């Protein structure tokens, strides 16, 4: 029985977290390869629909990460993202999507190590939680009908 490899999709901002991920690369830090990064100019660009689409595509875990509050390259995009996130969390809760599968973080362009540690932690966490069966079942049912 091969180990379960979770599918993790991350929506990150170009100026902070994407740069931080690049820094992790230049520093040759290692983290699990399950993650797929979608680059956006700013976390403010992120619509909750993207996250839902990711779940629909079979993601077992989702990450949203951007600049620290006050440091957004576009001044306030990450603050909008944070507000949207708070509402979205309530919605997910209401719908029954476990909060542990959807992560939100601030990673700056200087925090390569933090990024690597975050991905490692998240991958292991999601691996423990197992495949997101609930979502897959719902999708399968929807496709049948």
Q: Which stretch binds other proteins (CB under 8 A): 11-19, 85-93, 95-103, 134-142?
A: 11-19
How far is the C-alpha of 87 from the C-alpha of 93, rounded, in Å?
10
28 scored as a contact of other proteins (CB under 8 A): yes
Binding mask 54-83 for other proteins (x = CB under 8 A): x--x-x----------xx-xxxxx--xx--
86 scored as a contact of other proteins (CB under 8 A): no
Burial classification of residue 75, based on how many CB atoms lie within 10 Å of its CB (0-12 exposed, 13-18 middle, 19 or more buried): exposed
> What's the closest the beta carbon of residue 66 comes to other proteins, in angstroms?
11
Alpha helices in the chain (DSSP H): 17-26, 48-56, 77-95, 112-129, 133-144
Cross-sheet strand order for the sheet of 35-40: 35-40, 8-13, 61-66, 102-106
19 scored as a contact of other proteins (CB under 8 A): yes
Of 63, 102, 109, 122, which one interacts with other proteins (CB under 8 A)? Answer: 109
99 scored as a contact of other proteins (CB under 8 A): no
How far is the C-alpha of 137 from the C-alpha of 18, rounded, in Å?
33
Burial classification of residue 118, based on how many CB atoms lie within 10 Å of its CB (0-12 exposed, 13-18 middle, 19 or more buried): buried
121 scored as a contact of other proteins (CB under 8 A): no
The residue ranges that bind other proteins (CB under 8 A) are 7, 9, 14-16, 18-19, 21-22, 24-26, 28-33, 36-42, 44-47, 50, 53-54, 57, 59, 70-71, 73-77, 80-81, 84, 108-110, 116
């Amino acid at each position: 029985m091969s180990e379960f490899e979770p599918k993790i999709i991350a929506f990150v901002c170009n100026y902070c977290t994407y740069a931080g991920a690049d820094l992790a690369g230049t520093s040759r830090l290692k983290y699990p390869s399950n993650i797929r990064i979608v680059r956006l100019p700013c976390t403010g660009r992120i619509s909750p629909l993207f996250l839902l689409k990711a779940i629909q595509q079979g993601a077992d875990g989702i990450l949203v990460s951007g600049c620290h509050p006050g440091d957004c390259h576009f001044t306030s995009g990450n603050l909008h993202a944070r507000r949207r996130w708070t509402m979205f969390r309530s919605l997910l809760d209401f719908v029954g999507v476990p909060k542990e599968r959807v992560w939100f973080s601030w990673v700056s362009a200087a925090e390569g190590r933090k990024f690597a540690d975050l991905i490692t932690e998240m991958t292991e966490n999601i691996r423990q939680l197992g495949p997101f069966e609930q979502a897959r079942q719902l999708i399968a049912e929807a496709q049948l009908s």
